[in-house]
C-alpha cells in the first residue's frame, strides 16, 4: 500500500511557497475553497501556485450547515465560486468538525452531509468527507457514508479508522506531528498521506472537470449522472425521478447498493429508492444492464464502471417493528414476533441456519435464543418463501440491516 505525502492549506498559511514544498517531497495539496459560504481569501492564488508546482490538487469546504437546505446552499456556493471551470484530480471534501454540528445529532448531521454530497455528485464531482476518527464514529451514521471518499484526521503514528478499505486519505499531523517535522516550506501546516490512487481514478471517471474516459455503456461504463439518456448509454440517476422515456431498462439500487429487482423494460421515469439511485440503460447499454444486474445482487460503481456481485442480499424494512404491506421484518428481541397470520415466517437459529421452509398462516412465531425470525408480508413473503429452505444459511448485519442468504 503506497503512502503519498501531501499537505492541506488555507489562508492561514499565507502566501505559501508550493515550489519549495514540492522540492521537500510534497506531491499534492488540498486547498480550502470556502468557509461555509465565504470563499477562502487565498484560494485563487493557492490553486494557481500549486498547479504551477506540479502538485495534484483537491479542495475542501468547511461546513457550518445545520439543515439540508443550508448544506445544498453551501455546495452551490462552492460550485459557483470555486469548482466551476477548474480541474481537481483529488476529491472535493466537506470538512465536518465544527462543534456546532455535534448538537445536531447523528441522524440530522448525516442527512446534512448527504445533501451536500448529492448536490455535487449530480454535477459530476468526486466527493468526500473530512473528519476525525472519533467524529466519524460518534457523530455520524458512517455506514451510510461509505459511497463517499473518506479523509480521516488522526494525529498519531498510525490511523485506526475502520473499515480500512474506506481510508483514502489520512491527515497524520498538524501542529502536533509524531511522524515528521510539522513545518513544510517554512510554515506549520497540516500533513497527509494519500492511500487511494485518486488522480487516476478521477481522470478515468471523468469527474472534477475532466472529460470522461473509459469504455461504452455496452461494457457497463456510465455516461454520467442525472443527464439525458442518449442512445446506447448507461446513466445513474440520484434525483427523485429519472425523467426517462420507456425505451430502456431501469433498476433501483437501494442505500446498501442492492438491486431491488431485475432491470425493468418499457416503463421509464423510475422513482429513486430512498438513499439509493437508479441505473438506466438504452440499447446496447440496456442489454448489458439486463444481462449483468439481477435482483438481490450487490452493485458498486468503480472508476465510472458498474460492477455487480452475484449473490442474495436484501435490506430488511425494519427490525423489531410492525410488519406492513409487502415488508420484510427481522425480529430478534422478545419472546415472539407478535405478527398476524397473514404472512410467511421462518426461524433462524444461533448457528445461522433456517429451521424449516417459511411457514404461512400462523404468525406470532417464537424467537429462537441467539437467533432471529424473518417475517414477510405480500411480495416480501413470497420472496422469502422462494429463497429459504430448511438448513439455508442466513446472516444479518445490524449496522446496515442487510440479510445475506446462502
pLDDT confidence of residue 205: 79
Through-space distance between the first and last CA atoms of the chain, rounded to whole angstroms:
32
148-194 residue pLDDT tens: 999 999 999 999 999 888 999 999 999 999 989 999 999 999 999 99
- Round to whole Å and give the CA distance between 253 and 261: 9
The pTM assigned to this predicted structure is: 0.57
Q: Which three cell numbers stand for residue 18?
A: 508550493
CB 57 within 8 A of CB 28: yes
**CB-neighbour burial class of residue 48 (10 A; exposed 0-12, middle 13-18, buried 19+):** exposed
DSSP 212-236: P-S--GGGTB--EESS---TT-EEE
Taking the C-alpha atoms of residue 161 and residue 170, their distance in angstroms, rounded to an integer, is 9
Q: List the Cα angle 299/296/363 in 5-degree steps.
A: 145
Report cis status (omega within 30 of 0) of the bond before 163.
Answer: yes
Smallest Cα–Cα separation from 239: which of 220, 258, 223, 226? 226
Each residue's pLDDT tens digit, 14-68: 999 999 999 999 999 999 999 999 999 999 999 999 999 999 999 999 999 999 9
What is the rounded CA–CA span in Å between residue 159 and residue 372? Answer: 36
The contacts of residue 298 (CB under 8 Å, 6+ apart) are 256, 257, 258, 259, 308, 309, 311, 313
Per-residue model confidence (pLDDT) at position 303: 73
**DSSP β-ladder status, 318-319 and 305-309:** unpaired
193, 169 contact by CB (below 8 A): yes
Which among 372, 332, 366, 367 has a CA at the least distance from the CA of 352? 372
Assign a CATH topology to domain 4-205.
TIM Barrel (3.20.20)
Domain ranges of the chain: 4-205, 217-309, 313-405
Read off φ and ψ for residue 155, nearest 5 degrees: -80, 90
Whether 218 has a pLDDT exceeding 80, the answer reads no
Average pLDDT in the 99-113 region? Answer: 95
Cell numbers found for residue 141:
451514521
pLDDT band per the 50, 70, 90 thresholds, residue 338: very high
SS3 content of the chain, % helix, strand, coil (to 5): 25, 30, 45
Contacts 24+ apart (CB under 8 A), 118-122: 118/238, 119/71, 119/72, 119/75, 119/76, 119/79, 120/75, 120/78, 120/79, 120/83, 120/92, 121/225, 121/238, 122/225, 122/226, 122/238, 122/239
Distance CA 230, CA 216 (A): 12
The kind and range of the H/E element at 277 are strand 277-281
Q: Is 158 helix (H, G, I), strand (E, B) or coil?
A: coil
Pairing of strands 344-348, 359-360: antiparallel
Q: Which of 333, 337, 332, 336 is nearest to 376 (CA)?
A: 337
- The pLDDT value recorded for residue 214 is 55
Mean pLDDT, the chain, as a whole number?
93
Q: Grid cell 421452509 — which residue?
A: 357
| Three-class secondary structure assignment of 131-156 | EEHHHHHHHCCHHHHCCCEEEEECCC
Provide the strand spans (E) within 79-229: 92-95, 127-132, 149-153, 167-173, 183-184, 187-188, 190-194, 224-225
Q: Looking at 144-153, 186-195, 261-270, 299-308, which range is the least confident one?
A: 299-308
Dihedrals phi, psi of 198, to nearest 5 degrees: -65, -40
**Residue 237 Cα distances to 67, 75, 130, 156, 201, angstroms:** 23, 19, 25, 40, 21
> According to the model, what pLDDT value does residue 126 have?
95
Residue 360: partners with Cβ closer than 8 Å, 6 or more residues away: 343, 344, 381, 385
Tell me how far apart the alpha carbons of residues 222 and 395 are, in angstroms, rounded to a whole number.
32
Amino acid at each position: 500500500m503506497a503512502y503519498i505525502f501531501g499537505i492541506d492549506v488555507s489562508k492561514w498559511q499565507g502566501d505559501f511557497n508550493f515550489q519549495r514544498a514540492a522540492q521537500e517531497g510534497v506531491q499534492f495539496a488540498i486547498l480550502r475553497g470556502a468557509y461555509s459560504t465565504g470563499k477562502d481569501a487565498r484560494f485563487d492564488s493557492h490553486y494557481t501556485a500549486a498547479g504551477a508546482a506540479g502538485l495534484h490538487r483537491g479542495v475542501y469546504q468547511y461546513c457550518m450547515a445545520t439543515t439540508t437546505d443550508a448544506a445544498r446552499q453551501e455546495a452551490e456556493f462552492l460550485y459557483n465560486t470555486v469548482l466551476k471551470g477548474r480541474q481537481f484530480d483529488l476529491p472535493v471534501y466537506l470538512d465536518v468538525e465544527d462543534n456546532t454540528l455535534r448538537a445536531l445529532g447523528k441522524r440530522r448531521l448525516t442527512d446534512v452531509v448527504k445533501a451536500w454530497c448529492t448536490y455535487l455528485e449530480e454535477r459530476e464531482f468526486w466527493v468526500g468527507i473530512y473528519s476525525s476518527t472519533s467524529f466519524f464514529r460518534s457523530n455520524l451514521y458512517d455506514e451510510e457514508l461509505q459511497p463517499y471518499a473518506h479523509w480521516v484526521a488522526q494525529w498519531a503514528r498510525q490511523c485506526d479508522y475502520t473499515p480500512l478499505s474506506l481510508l483514502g486519505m489520512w491527515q497524520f499531523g498538524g501542529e502536533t506531528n509524531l511522524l515528521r517535522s510539522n513545518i513544510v516550506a517554512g510554515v506549520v501546516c497540516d500533513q497527509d498521506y494519500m492511500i487511494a490512487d485518486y488522480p487516476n481514478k478521477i481522470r478515468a471517471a471523468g469527474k472534477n472537470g475532466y472529460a470522461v474516459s473509459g469504455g461504452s455503456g455496452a461494457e457497463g461504463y456510465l455516461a454520467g449522472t442525472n443527464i439525458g439518456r442518449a442512445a446506447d448509454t448507461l446513466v445513474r440517476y440520484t434525483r427523485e425521478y429519472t425523467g426517462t422515456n420507456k425505451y430502456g431498462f431501469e433498476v433501483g439500487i437501494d442505500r446498501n447498493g442492492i438491486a431491488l429487482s431485475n432491470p425493468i423494460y418499457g416503463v421509464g421515469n423510475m422513482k429513486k429508492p430512498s438513499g439509493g439511485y437508479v441505473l438506466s440503460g438504452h440499447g446496447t447499454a440496456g442489454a448489458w444492464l439486463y444481462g449483468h444486474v439481477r435482483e438481490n445482487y450487490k452493485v458498486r460503481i468503480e472508476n465510472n464502471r458498474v460492477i455487480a456481485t452475484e449473490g442474495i442480499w436484501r435490506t430488511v424494512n425494519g427490525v423489531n417493528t410492525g410488519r406492513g404491506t409487502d415488508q420484510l421484518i427481522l425480529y430478534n428481541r422478545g419472546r415472539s414476533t407478535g405478527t398476524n397470520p397473514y404472512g410467511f415466517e421462518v426461524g433462524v437459529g444461533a448457528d445461522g441456519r433456517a429451521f424449516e421452509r417459511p411457514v404461512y398462516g400462523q404468525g406470532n412465531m417464537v424467537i429462537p435464543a441467539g437467533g432471529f425470525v424473518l417475517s414477510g408480508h405480500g411480495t416480501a413473503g413470497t420472496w422469502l418463501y422462494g429463497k429459504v429452505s430448511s438448513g439455508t444459511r442466513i446472516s444479518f448485519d445490524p449496522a446496515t440491516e442487510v440479510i445475506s442468504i446462502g
